[in-house]
Amino acid sequence: MGSRRATFTSDFGLLMTMIGVAVGLGNVWRFPYMVWEFGGSTFVACYLLCVLTIGIPALAAEWALGRHTRRGPLGAFQRGGLPAGRAMGRLIYFVVWVAVGYYAVAVGWVGFYAAGAAGRIVGLPFDAGVILPPDTGFDGRSFGLQLLMTALVVGGGGVIIALGLKRGIERASKLIMPTLFVVLIALVGRSLTLDGAGTGLAFCLGLGGGDRLDASCLAAAMGQAIFSLSLGGSFMLIYGSYMAPRTGIGKKAVITGLSDALAGVLAALAIIPAAVALLPEVGSDGAQAVKGAKLLFATLPAVFAHMPGGGAFGLLFFGGLFGAAFLSAIAALEVLVGGLVDNTSLSRKRAVALTCGSVWLISIPPSINMTIFIPWDLTFGSGMQVCGALLAVVTAVWCVNRSAMLAELSRGAQRPFPRLLYWWMRVAIPAMIATTGLLWFLEDVEPYLRQTVWPWLTGLLLG
């Protein structure tokens, strides 16, 4: 792209694109069940605090690094002066390539559930759950459906990316994101008018007596702030490289961070009160009934099945969630395509074709069963995302010349970037991101290794 690199054409298009990257499965799906699991309003308060103190400053740093270097991960770390920056950029690029394979599979699940909701409205028998992979073993029908849906997700994303930043990515974002917020507001209104929804609402607002503040709650909130904003030295980095010099970073980071948080809160208010009102098992054993994949693919269809007019609301929810998740998938594909265009002689269309084909192939293993999918997510999604976020912040505020970075952060703003906030970004943000990564390993990865991987390896070695 060189000196003729594309830039966003309007502030609205930029914000819808950035918010679209942030709002996806990580917030609309993950945030509600974490609110339930970690104590309602206490978790919400901790999460909002982490968005303000960690997420928004780190987001500004990634954008500034991207705009300063005019590159995605392939080039930004090296140009930013990070030791072994070229190797680190290649590592992040590889991680995105592998991660988008499993993420596109999950987006395909959501799209299939949206199709199922549409089918039920017109009276067609449609069990959307057949697309979900088994816990172990192999299911040919599930596998085939996943490959088909993943091809549609990746192919559709490729078409949009091939159209370019203005005609493709911006246009899709400006259509999908306002629609998603309208859908979430409509769902909140319907959820809160159900008989018995007050109990779930009281829980979300901290009136149900279930709040708790402990290390696990704070760690979960820190992780959610990083994951939900799509920090990781990849998506936001390359979109930052498309920001015009006149664009003020600080204000846009605040709007993006708060909009992303708003989407999560709306999703929680749409889901938890309705689940409590309509499913008796949620009230008695909510920690199990509203958790993880069960929330999206088991609990919510049951909620919509019990809700008057639930078919239409189910279509709205899964359709809106698919749109948000699709925008995140587009961002991941753009990281890969942009890297090829920046560093090879490939045309954009050829880079899109190569990227989409390779991503579809890499999606095959995690489509087999959850035993493969879950560690794929833990390794290339959650874990490496924290590492990438740490690398991006360190590169921006430790490796790039301080005056140059302060100037980059101040571009387009009426006042210079606060030096105190810059030092907060240098010291506190890397420390908190590193702490998040350590806690993630201890709470998510180590138990999984101990309960699943180690027994399997021991059995394999001992015969």
HSE value, Cβ hemisphere, 13 Å, CA-based, for 184: 28
Closest CA to 67 of 235, 240, 187: 240
DSSP 8-44: -S-HHHHHHHHHHHHSSIIIIIHHHHHHHHTTTHHHH
What is the residue-level pLDDT of the chain in tens, covering all 463 positions? Answer: 344 789 999 999 999 999 999 998 878 888 887 887 777 788 888 999 999 999 999 999 999 999 999 999 999 999 999 999 999 999 999 999 999 999 999 999 999 999 999 998 888 878 899 999 998 999 999 999 999 999 999 999 999 999 999 999 999 999 999 999 999 999 999 999 999 888 888 878 765 445 567 777 888 888 899 989 999 999 999 999 999 999 999 999 999 999 999 999 999 899 888 888 887 766 544 444 455 555 678 778 888 888 888 889 999 999 999 999 999 999 999 999 999 999 999 999 999 999 999 999 999 999 999 989 988 887 877 778 899 999 999 999 999 999 999 999 999 998 999 999 999 999 999 999 999 888 878 877 777 778 776 776 777 777 6
pLDDT for res 2: 42
Other Cβ atoms less than 10 A from the Cβ of 232: the count is: 29
**What topology is assigned to 2-462 in CATH?**
Hydantoin permease (1.10.4160)
Closest CA to 299 of 271, 270, 323, 263: 271
pLDDT for res 437: 86
* Rounded Cα gap, residues 263 and 28, in angstroms: 7
Backbone angles phi, psi at 230, to 5 degrees: 60, 35
Question: Would the pTM of this model clear 0.75, i.e. be above it?
Answer: yes
Residue spans per domain, the chain:
2-462
* Rounded Cα gap, residues 105 and 201, in angstroms: 33
pLDDT for res 240: 97
pLDDT for res 204: 81
* Rounded Cα gap, residues 34 and 56, in angstroms: 20
